[in-house]
Structures are given as C-alpha cells and as structure tokens.
Chain A
Amino acid sequence: MTRRGGHLDLVHELLDHELVDVNGTPCGVIDDIELTGGIGERLRVTALLVGPGASGPRLPRLVGWAVARLFSTRRVRVPWDQIDTISERIVLKTTGASLGLGKLDRKVGRWLARLPGSDKAH
C-alpha cells in the first residue's frame, strides 16, 4: 500500500472518499471502517465497508430506518490488504467485480444492453 505522509487520519483521509478499482472504475464511497481489537489490544483497520448497509446506520435513526426499508441493507466488505493507494481516491489492487462491488450497476447494465447504442460511449 502506498500513500503520502506518515500517519493516517481515518475520518479525513478514508471515510467518504471515493473507491476506485484497478481500472479506475468508481466502485462506491467508503461508508464505514471496520476496526478490530479488544480492550488493551492493538486496534487495527481490517476492512473498508461500502453500501447502504454501512452508510444507513450513520444517518439519524428514523432516516436510517427509512433508507434501509426503501433501498437495501447490503454492504460489501473490502479487506484492508486489497487497498493499493490512498490519496483523494482509494485505489484497489483488483477489480471491483472480484470483490462483489458494483453488482447493481452490472445488473442494470445488462438490462440497458438491450437498447441500441448502449455499448458505445457517445
């Protein structure tokens, strides 16, 4: 993993930053951060969490509840060792699809594929 500077500010440098895969395709925004470690133990970042299931609980309770009902509670866990670079964007070492990111985008994409001209950048 490469990044600027010495220490990492989780809230300012990770949370709410865009996640892109190895090809530069956006794969979501870092909605939450998974930390592991008990009391007295070393606290470690083990994964970044993406999806409404991770961002919903950050909203005021009633709004969060509505979002969960209206959309989904799906969240994708991106293991920390899959992160390549941290700058304005968080860059993955691999493709988003291999980590289960952007599933809905591909589903809607297959549906759009039936329309003429959907495979060309216009």
Chain B
Amino acid sequence: MKKVLEIFLGILTAMGGFVEVGELTFALNAGSRFGYDLLWIVALGTLGIIVFCEMAGRVAAARGQPVFNLIRERVGFSGGLITLIGANAVCVMTCAAEIGGIALLWQLLSGWPYRPLLLLALVFFLVVVWFFKFNWIERVFGLLGLLMVVFCVAVYMMEPDWNEFAKGFIPGLPVVESSREILVYAFFAVSLLSSIMLPYETYFYASGGIEDHWKPQDVNLNRVIVLIGFPLGGVLAVSLIVIGAEFLGPRDIEAHLPGTAAMAASSQLGKVGLIVALLGMFFAFAGAAIETAMSAAYNLSQFLGWPWGKFRPPQQASRFTLSWVVVFVLATLVVLTGIDPIKVVEYAIVFSVVVLPLTYFPMLMVAQDRNVMGEYANGPLASVLGWFYFIVITLAAIAALPLMIATHGGQG
C-alpha cells in the first residue's frame, strides 16, 4: 500500500510542473491562438519529461544521488555553479509567480486586497512545509491537484471536433498569413515545450525519491510512477489547449488571469465546476510553489554538500531548511513589488529552457555510464530517446531567446 502511495510523488511533480500558473497561461493562449495545432508539442514534451525524470529517478534509486550532486561531480565547480545560479533563479521566479497566482485566486474568492494575501500565502507555505512530512506534502497536494480533472470533464462537455483534435497530434506548421505568424507559432511551441519539460521537475522528483528512501529495486516503481503521473499532467495540458481553442479563442479572451480558466469550467459545469476548478488550481499552484522552493534548497544543498531533506529534523538540515525559507521570502518579495506574476512566469519558462540542456546532459551521461550504473544503465530505448531529446531541447534552448525577442514575447 505504501508503495502504491508513492505514485503521488509523480502526480505532485507532474501537477506542479505541468499545470502551474505559467503552463495554464501558455496552454490557454496557445489554444486560443492556434487552435489544436500545438497539441503535438504537448505529446512531445510529455514523452520528453517522462524520459528525463525516469533517468533522474533511476539514478536516484540506483546510486542514491540527486541531480545537483551529479552536476557538480560531472561538470565541476565553475560549470556547475553557472547551472546552479540559472536553475535557482528560475525556481525563485516560478515560485514568485505561483504565490502571486494563489493570491489572485484568493482575491477572486474573498475580495481582499492582493498584497496582504501574498503575505498570507507566504505564512501558509512556511507552516505547511515546516510541519508536513514529505509524503504528506506529496499526497495532499498531488491528490487535491487532481481536482483539475474538472477541465477534462469541461472539454468533454464542450464536444470539440474530435477529428480536428486528433489531427493536432500530427507535427506540422499551421496555415498562416505571414512569416511573422510562423515565428509566433515557433515561440509558442518552444515555450509550451519548456513549460512541460521544466527542469525543476527532475530536481524535485529525484530528491523526492531519496526522501522516500528508494532503493535500487525501486527502479521499476520509478517507471510506473513516471508513466502514470506525467501522462496525467499531459492530458490536463491538452485539455487547457482545447479550452483555449473552444472557449477563449472564439470569444477573443486572452488568459491574463488564472481565473480565466475557471470561467471555462463554470461555463460547462456551473457553480460546482467553478469551485472545483478554483480549488484544483489552488492545490496545483501550491504544489508548484512548494516544488520550486524545495528544489532550490535541494539544489543548493546538494551542490555544496550540506545535509538536506525533510527526512532529517530541521535542526540537523539547518542550512537546507533556511534555504527554502529564504526562497519563499524572496519569491514573495518579487511579487510584492506589484510585478504581474504571469509576466514573471513567462520569463521563467523561457529562461528555464536555456538552463535545461545544462542539467539534462550530466544526467544523461551518468544514466548511460555502465561503470557507475551497472545493470541499471540506460538500455537501447532509454539511450535513443535520451539522445533524441537532448537534440530537441538543445535546439529549443538555442531558439528560445531569439524567438522571444523577435516576437516581443509572443505578441507578434
């Protein structure tokens, strides 16, 4: 039974990675702008994050080593430090956006002013992460984030054109009027891919496996978890694109606020749909905030060799504990300035794809190294997929910043 509950590590990681505030905006806007044309990117990204997290989880189970421990070992101090700074900057920015998103949700429900709600969210996170055991964080935020399934139900009730829907999974370029539109499409494709293959998912997932005391015999459990958790996140991302295409696009609504998605659910399922959607979003955003804050603390501790983990009392992993507290505080300060959380996360997503190959490569190197992984090294399938995705994300990383500049962040 305990092993079955491990599934929530995958679900929480996927929920926090796939359906956080940034993904919500990108997927809705992608659907509203390009209909079903970008669905294949979700499929590509979902398989990519499965490949990446399966490797990270396998290395964590077989060698007990988390991501930044490996980066330091393989890339050395100077190179690793650049990756660490990039990765943690993305974590803080994403965490800031999630806290902002939660305050916006609470504002919708209560009508209270935004800034005090940000502080309330900060207190909420400090209390939850301090007092909750790791497996309870997994279960509560993973399970309740599943309320987001309401969006799948809403999509089903919208009765989309299933033929068109299926065609969306075939890679291709849309019919557009100008070459400029192609650039915008490419920008959305890269951003959507990035918002699914967020590197912090692997930091959290691998560290979470060690928090849950995985052993080499758990490599099969790891496979089951990634094969259930991430496709679930993928289905939700697909639903959001469809909602963008069927609900927002025709009405010329741009998803600037997290509440926009909830409106789509309420259009099909009434008040219950609205409440379930808002609750689901709250738990998914909260899961992402916890995931990013803890990831930043995991990364720093693993890079510098500090005792880390929720399985140790805070006194005994004191610098780790202090690190996640500082990340939550910094993230709250970022949104307290009044900066739009959606803008923050859009930048975070574009920059995270730039960091992605730097964390992916050392992981791939270790996972395929027979000398250190022995029987648990990459087999033929993991090798082929591993290298294929390394090429994909490297191309995405090279294209991301030029596309962002050329399209003014997707504005065209």
Report the bound CA distance from A65 to B237 in whole Å: 46
Does B223 sit at the interface, judged by CB under 8 A?
A: no
Residues of B within 8 A of A27 (CB): 305
For residue A108, which residues in chain B have a CB less than 8 angstroms away from its CB?
Answer: 318-319, 322
In Å, the complex CA distance between A58 and B314 comes to: 31
Answer whether residue B304 sits at the interface, using C-beta atoms and an 8 A cutoff.
yes
| A112 lies within 8 A of chain B by Cβ | yes
Q: Is the CB of B130 within 8 A of A112?
A: no
Is B321 part of the binding interface, using a Cβ–Cβ cutoff of 8 Å?
A: yes
Known: A16-B72, A16-B76, A60-B78. A26 touches B314 (CB 8 A): no
- Which of A110, A117, A118, A122 has the largest count of B CB atoms less than 10 A from its CB? A122
Q: Cβ of B408 < 8 Å from any Cβ of A?
A: no
CA distance A60 to B40 in the complex (A): 43
Closest to A55 in B: B77
> Is A75 part of the contact surface with B, judged by Cβ < 8 Å?
no
Q: How far is the CA of A62 from the CA of B304 in the complex (A)?
A: 20
Shortest Cβ distance from B70 into A: residue? A88
Q: A19 contacts B305, CB within 8 Å?
A: yes
11 of the cross-chain contacts (CB-CB < 8 Å) are A15-B76, A17-B73, A29-B304, A55-B77, A88-B64, A88-B65, A105-B307, A108-B322, A115-B130, A119-B313, A122-B310
B318:A105 contact, CB within 8 angstroms: yes
Does B318 contact A109, Cβ atoms closer than 8 Å? yes
Q: Map CB proximity to A onto B68-86 as digits: 1 under 8 Å, 0 otherwise.
A: 0100110011101100000
Known: A58-B78, A88-B65, A112-B314. A122 touches B307 (CB 8 A): no
Contact B314–A118 (Cβ < 8 Å) = yes
**In this assembly, does A36 line the interface, its C-beta being within 8 Å of a C-beta of chain B?**
no
Contacts of A58 in B (CB 8 A): 77-78
* B307 and A25 form a contact (CB under 8 A): yes
Complex interface: chain A residues within 8 A of B131 (CB)? 117, 122
Question: Once the chains are docked, how many angstroms separate the CA of A15 from the CA of B72?
Answer: 9
Which residues of the other chain, A, contact B316 by a CB distance below 8 angstroms? 25, 109
CA distance A119 to B312 in the complex (A): 9
A104 CB within 8 Å of chain B = yes
- A18-B69, A26-B308, A122-B132 are contacts. A59–B78 as well, Cβ < 8 Å? yes
Closest 7 CB pairs of A and B: A108-B318, A29-B305, A109-B318, A28-B305, A109-B315, A118-B314, A118-B315
Q: Number of residues in B with C-beta < 8 Å to the partner?
A: 35
Residue A121 CB within 8 A of the other chain: yes
Give the shortest distance, in Å, between B59 (CB) and chain A (any CB).
10
Contact residues, A68-122 vs B (CB, 8 A): 88, 102, 104-106, 108-113, 115, 117-122
CA distance in complex: A25, B319 (Å): 13
Q: Is B388 an interface residue (CB 8 A)?
A: no
Contact of B318 among A17, A18, A112 (CB under 8 A): A112
Instruction: Please indicate the chain B residues that have their CB under 8 angstroms from the CB of A106 in the complex.
Output: 318
Residue pair B319, A117 in contact (C-beta under 8 Å): no
Q: Does B133 contact A (CB under 8 A)?
A: yes
The answer on a CB contact under 8 Å between A26 and B305 is yes
Cβ of A30 to closest chain B Cβ, rounded Å:
9
Residues of A within 8 A of B318 (CB): 105-106, 108-109, 111-112
Q: Kindly list chain A residues whose C-beta atoms are within 8 Å of the C-beta of B80.
A: 16
Residue picked from A28, A59, A102, most chain B C-beta under 10 Å = A102
B72 x A29 contact (CB < 8 A): yes
Given the complex, which residues of B lie within 8 Å of A19, measured CB to CB?
Answer: 305
